[in-house]
Structure 1
Amino acid sequence: MTKHTDHFYRYLREWFTVFLPHQRGASLHTIIAFRDAWNLLLRYVTDTRQIPLEQITFSVIDRELVSEFLDHMTTTRGWSASTRNQRLACIRSFFRYAASAEPTLAMHLAAVAMIPQKKQRAGTAIRYLTAAAVTTLLATPDPLTRTGLRDQFFMILMYDLAARDAEMLTLTVGAIDAKRRTAELIGKGAKPRRLPITAETAEHYRRYAGAFHPGSEPGDPLFYTTHNHRKTPMSDDNVARFLHQYAATAHQANVEVPERVHPHMLRHSRAMHLYQAGMPLEMLTEWLGHADPETTLIYAHADTEMKRDALAKITIDIGTDPARIPIWRDREDIIQRLCGLAS
């Protein structure tokens, strides 16, 4: 391992173990998200540049490579502009730390700093599945196999709770109370929230726990993989992989299921279905663990656009005869009332 490579991994280790937790005071979820982002980036380097992990240096991770990586993840993982910008900020943060420790590395920070952030369009439509598509997707794994049982329960629980990927992967056995039918999630900022689960989900949990957690301790990871006879928390890579596989299969049975489904789509789907079923936005904000209530408005806006599209289709069917033009044409106040957004 060269001196330069030593510096790269030394600073990366210090950034994760000293700077983020102790100097910046980052939450566990933030550190996990940053770790996963760097795992993806380093894997992308080895796959596309054919460079072994131990030979990666600061010079390898240049502006061109980082830009390609972000574009690739946006295409293959369905990263939103917000997620892409967060990952870019994560990469910049590390280079900023390294440059502050060793000024000669400032040139690498300057190159990464030139990568522009993606503009986030106001009112961008969220991607979510219809109720029928969710039903098809959740029925795709074979629960008679060990892997199918695990994957099906993971998707069922994630949808039921409208949980973030990171929240699912940090769940412990003790976080689920099948008798009271509740689950406790640890959200952003290490804020806990207790949510109800359905009777069906509780029954799925009992079957899953019977197969995967006989004699487990409450603090053991709920979802895990086994390496060298040791249980380790499941990775987000594994979740993304099996969701992609099941979505491709489910699409063949129901075209409403997108060919590519990423984990956050299950969260969006459940949130949208709860809102459409009448859950007030204030309660939905608490359910989703949003710090800012404004964030939850995306579901109201998305639902409004659906209704607006429906009105437009009716207008097209009616035709353009002035005597038959609907009263809501060009009347935003009426559209707002019809969509339930009028104050």
Structure 2
Amino acid sequence: MRAADFDFALPPERIAQHPARPRDAARLLQVGGAGWQDRQVRDLPGLLRAGDILVANDTRVIPAQLEGRRGAARVGITLDRPLADGTWHALARNARRLRPGDTVDFAAPLVARVERRDPDGGVALRFNLEGEAFTAALRATGALALPPYIARPDGPGPQDAQDYQTIFAAREGAVAAPTAGLHFTPALLAGLEAAGVRRVTLTLHVGAGTFLPLREENIDAHRLHAERGEVSAGVAAAVNAARAAGGRIVAVGTTTLRLLESATDESGTLRPFAGETDIFIRPGHRFRSAELLMSNFHLPRSTLFMLVCAFAGTERMRAAYAHAIASGYRFYSYGDATLLERA
């Protein structure tokens, strides 16, 4: 397969710059065997069944974008994930200028030493602070790493700090929001509970690699950056029990689905999981976990568009996206949503 197989033309005015308000007023394109239906996110309780289980990602976005100096040179850093040796894997503008042993000074008191350059083009940074002191310094000096297609010439504002967190956000560590979760409101969660839909959360800390373009035309040559995830024993037991009772697993977002697929064995049993995953889901993948996927609209030629094509069928998704573009749906992180039935 080639990246060109997953290309489509998207008018720039279809890219959402702000979310719908209230959030569950966003449009929802339901895609299944009978074609598609135009709905709203707030219709979700009526589209699911009692006994279904909604699985969401509870990662919380950190202010991962930092500006520093190596001597007189300015350095832009986007934190990706902490590593087992205590360093942070990070992406850097002009990374080739950074060498092991270099010191990068951020706003006081935050300083980092470059430990090594990694084969993927990133760098490993060791900061002078740890724990709560590091978290406090990051909050004081860092900024949200909003996707480049959200135009903020002066940087993310206070409203973005609220808009770019999901209602499920609890565990700090993501560079980017799991955007399907951005549509949920207290009223929507109450409606789902009243409809008999259970809800659990797992954690996948979305990394900076989510913004990287697909550089290989042959998609089988592409490698995803690893991301940290955790599925607790209690969540695994709840999901397995719901499935055994005839309920469907509803994954909220591609991040949730990627972790479910990483932690589900060949028999379809979800296992507790704690570690990194770099699973790249594209057409041909045999799904073992979710029956339904709620997801935003994704970029052309992106690994996430490949994932939804794998889940719901490439031709079906190409047709559904063409309908969405013609019908004025809003795309990407702050845009509208889809509810996909597994092909």
Q: TM-score, normalised by structure 1?
A: 0.25
Q: Which has the higher strand share?
A: 2
- For CA contacts below 8 A with separation 6 or more, give which structure has more relative contact order: 2
Higher-Rg member (1/2) = 1
